[in-house]
Structure formats: C-alpha cells, structure tokens
Amino acid sequence: MDSAARGDVRNRRLADALHLAVVSVDYRLAPEHPWPAAPDDCEAAALWLVEQARDRFGTARLVIGGTSAGATLALATLLRLRDRGAVDGFVGAVLQFGTYDLSGQTPAGRQIADEYFIQAYAGHVADRTLPDISPIYGDLRGLPPALLVVGSADVLLEDNLAMAGRLSAAGNRVELRVYPEAPHGFTGHPTAMARTALDGIESWLLDHIAQP
C-alpha cells in the first residue's frame, strides 16, 4: 500500500544525518501486480546498486532495510542476492516489524492470514511457504548483520522473535530490539518511543557502515 514517496521525509533525514545516498524502490503493488512483481523490482534495484554504487555514489558499501512489507521484501531481496553470489557488498540490514509468514502457519501468520492484502499479493500462490513470499521458511545462511526492530504490542511480534532466532541459528550476526507497548508501525508515529528507536537505528547503521 501507499508509495515510495511516503518515505521521503525519513529518507531525507537519513541522508542528511548519516551522509548517505538513499535509494527508495517504488516497487509495483498488488492486486494489479501480485507476487513476484515486488521482489522482482527490489532485486533489480539492488543489482543495479551492486554494479553502480561505487561509480554513482563513491562507495560499494551497502545497507538494506524496510518497514513491515518493506522488511519482508528486504529480506527476500537478500536471499535472492545471496543465491546469485551478489550479497557481499551489503554490510547490514535493518528490518522493522517484518511480515515473515504469509502462509498462515506461524502464530503471527495465522492472525493475518485472512487480511485482504495477503490475498491480493499472494492469493494466487498454492504454496505460500516459498521463502520469496515467506522468508521465515528460507535457508538464512550467509546474510549480512541484521538489526530487527519490533514493538511488544505488535501483532507480528512472535514471528519477529522467531526470525531473529532463525537468523542467529543460521550463523548470522543479529541484534533484536523490542520496544515496550509499541504497536505495528510505531516508528512512523511522532512519539518519544519512535524517536528513540530511530536514533538507535541510525547509530547501528553508522557503526556498520564505518566498519572496515
């Protein structure tokens, strides 16, 4: 839902505060363009960055991230890139309250299984445990360090906890931050809790971008 332009204010803050180039993907939306249109678009943008970032932006060090569906797509993109052997340039991933199961089998997945947006995006797919749709079922080895951010009142909390555990069990460096009484999408709200979480994300990004 919505459009890439909705993130312009946040992306501008990131660019100004951290001296980064921020590339936002205006991926195609369901129901007009159901899966795999969105991850196809995200993969295309990521591959372009892998090839062009040094010439265009002066660095080959990349980070990826997103909120809610954007976090899902960010993780699916990393899995695609890893399978292509093109993930090495990514030094971090910030995943905010992702939707990691669209099959309706996990605790959080069952709570959102009948939502119209799930049906619009992947209702035509017989097996929604495909990692490209539901990353929690994927082989998660060989991914960059990840920061997972979620609120304790988020309907997707349990799946975010499970994803953090699965990423760690696969040998990846993972940091999980759970914010008290915060609902889904809380970092988009004008609250002190959101500001604390966003400041923490910026510090984490700086640490990982600056590492040799």
Q: Is 154 a catalytic residue?
A: yes
- Cα gap 85→2, rounded to integer Å: 32
Strands (DSSP E) found in the chain: 62-67, 90-96, 146-151, 174-179
Element (H, E) at 111: helix 107-112
Name which of 169, 173, 179 is nearest 146 in CA terms: 173
- Residue 189 among the catalytic residues: no
Q: Using an 8 Å Cβ cutoff, are 114 and 53 in contact?
A: no
Annotated active-site residue in 101, 103, 159, 184? 184
- The answer to whether 184 is a known catalytic residue is yes
Q: What is the CA radius of gyration of the chain?
A: 16
List, in order, residues 6 or more apart from 181 with CB less than 8 Å away.
151, 152, 153, 193
Sign of the torsion angle spanned by Cα atoms 66, 2, 41, 163: positive
Q: Which of 68, 103, 132, 159 is catalytic?
A: 68
Catalytic residue of the set 101, 132, 154, 159: 154
Please name the amino acid found at residue 125.
Answer: V
Residue numbers annotated as active site: 68, 154, 184
